[in-house]
Amino acid sequence: MNMYKSILISMILLFTLMSVSFLISKKSTLDLNKTSPFECGFSKFTSPRLSFSIQFFMIAIIFLMFDVELTLILPFISSFKMMNLYQWMKYSLMITTIILYGLYHEWMNGIIEWSK
């Protein structure tokens, strides 16, 4: 019963904070003309957003992939005592081969090149 009471109090507090923040926020979505960009009395000619470099995005994805692969490698250091040498070498070489193949594949597709 105590758990339900704390959940109810949390929900009431959450709803209260959301309501107060909505009421005191300065942004009003009622008038779209006030929130649109203004250029000397003319409507906007181009999109205000700048183009996003796909090369930067691909480098970020590669970084994330190798970061995840690194988290797969780190437990092998502590698992050395739990496995025999043959199993440890087999699994370590398997993961290293997958990582190196991914790096080779990205290199051959030109994803790692900064300028083209």
Per-residue buried b or exposed e for 40-73, using 16+ beta carbons within 10 Å of the residue's own CB: eeeeeeeeeeeeeeeeeeeeeeeeeeeeeeeeee
Is 104 inside any structural domain?
Answer: yes
Is 9 inside any structural domain?
Answer: no
Better-predicted residue by pLDDT, 19 or 116: 19
- If you search the block for the tokens 């988290």, which residue do you land on? 71
Residues 6+ apart with CB under 8 A from 99: 66, 69, 73
Is 12 inside any structural domain?
Answer: no
Is 32 inside any structural domain?
Answer: no
- Number of domains within the chain: 1
Q: Rounded distance, CA 61 to CA 68, Å?
A: 11
Whether 43 has a pLDDT exceeding 80, the answer reads no
Q: What is the pLDDT of residues 53-106, one digit of tens each?
A: 777 777 787 788 778 877 877 887 777 778 888 888 888 888 889 888 888 888
Which residues form the domain of 61? Answer: 54-108
Q: Rounded distance, CA 87 to CA 91, Å?
A: 6
Is 1 inside any structural domain?
Answer: no
Q: What is the pLDDT of residues 78-93, one digit of tens each?
A: 777 788 888 888 888 8
8 Å CB contact between 56 and 33: no
- If you search the block for the tokens 């959301």, which residue do you land on? 18
pLDDT at residue number 105: 86
For residue 46, which amino acid is it?
Answer: T
